[in-house]
């Protein structure tokens, strides 16, 4: 399998350039959405297109939020948390999607690995990657989530038995707006790359056409600084 380490630099310039535009668009969208919501309550049944408009506006809003995340990402709420329960929770969130696609989601998670970072952001980064894995995998296939300790690092792998990517596709992955999906935004991977980079982590992809893809995310672990009972002088 060919291995490629992705660098987020390739999206910096264009990301920064458009950040201000994206920010300006988000505000009017939010206002229009608010008015439409009011309208749909008052004239229920008359304006059947309103739910569609709301859905499309919601989609535009999601794209812009993703876009802002790529170009101006921020870690907001920093907290200490254990990785295994967070990943188990993500599996629960994504099981319905896997079910719809006929994909089996498996997990093998080491316990006792702690991080100190923005939990919601990390979850967002991983969910983008796992969603891609599920979407690339045909019915009957498997997506496996693993979490292992490697020294002072946590190693997360997301392996799928999906369609895989050619070398050309692999080299375009993480480029803004690159998507092979009919309704894809081509932003998910870019968002994930930026978030992992901000967390001083590394991300790499191995893929083989018609065999599958394995994504590896390596994150620096938080050392367990709490003194153990033994160190405090207690016995037993």
Question: Which residues sit at the interface with ligand ADP, rule CB under 6 A?
Answer: 128, 132-133, 136, 160, 162-165, 173, 178-181, 184-190, 213
Q: Which is nearer to ligand ADP, 217 or 221 (CB)?
A: 217
Q: C-beta of 39: minimal distance to ligand ADP in Å?
A: 30
* 121 touches, from ligand ADP, Mg ion, none (C-beta below 5 to 8 Å by class): none
Q: C-beta of 193: minimal distance to Mg ion in Å?
A: 12
Q: What is the 3-state secondary structure (H, E, C) of the chain?
A: CEEEECCHHHHHHHHHHHHHHHHHHHHHHHHHHHHHHHHHHHCCCCCCCHHHHHHHHHHHHHHHHHHHHHHCCCCCCEEEEEHHHHHHHHHHHHHHHHHHHCCEEEEEECCCCEEEEEHHHHHHHHHHHHHHHHHHCCCCCEEEEEEEEECCEEEEEEEECCCCCCHHHHHHCCCCCCCCCCCCCCCHHHHHHHHHHHCCCEEEEEEECCCEEEEEEEEECCCCCCCCCCCCCCCC
Q: Which is nearer to ligand ADP, 188 or 201 (CB)?
A: 188
Q: Which is nearer to ligand ADP, 40 or 132 (CB)?
A: 132
* 163 touches, from ligand ADP, Mg ion, none (C-beta below 5 to 8 Å by class): ligand ADP
């Amino acid at each position: 399998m060919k291995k490629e380490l992705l660098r987020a630099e390739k999206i910096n310039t264009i990301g920064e350039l458009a950040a201000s535009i994206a920010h300006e668009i988000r505000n009017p969208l939010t206002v229009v959405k608010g008015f439409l919501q009011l309208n749909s309550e008052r004239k229920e049944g008359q304006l059947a297109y309103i739910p569609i408009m709301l859905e499309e506006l919601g989609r535009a809003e999601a794209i812009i939020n993703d876009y802002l995340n790529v170009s101006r990402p921020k870690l907001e709420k920093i907290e200490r948390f254990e990785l295994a329960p967070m990943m188990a929770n993500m599996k629960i969130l994504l099981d319905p999607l896997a079910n719809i696609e006929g994909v089996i989601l498996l997990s093998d998670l080491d316990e006792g690995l702690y991080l100190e970072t923005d939990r919601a952001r990390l979850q967002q980064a991983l969910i983008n990657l796992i969603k891609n894995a599920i979407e690339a995998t045909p019915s009957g296939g498997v997506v496996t989530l693993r979490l292992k300790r490697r020294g002072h690092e946590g190693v997360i792998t997301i392996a799928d038995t999906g369609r895989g990517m050619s070398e050309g596709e692999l080299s375009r992955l993480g480029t803004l707006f690159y998507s092979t999906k009919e309704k894809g935004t081509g932003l998910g991977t870019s968002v994930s790359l930026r978030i992992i980079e901000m967390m001083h982590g590394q991300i790499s992809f191995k893929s083989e056409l018609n065999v599958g893809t394995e994504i590896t995310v390596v994150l620096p672990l938080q050392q367990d600084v709490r003194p153990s009972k033994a160190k405090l002088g207690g016995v037993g």
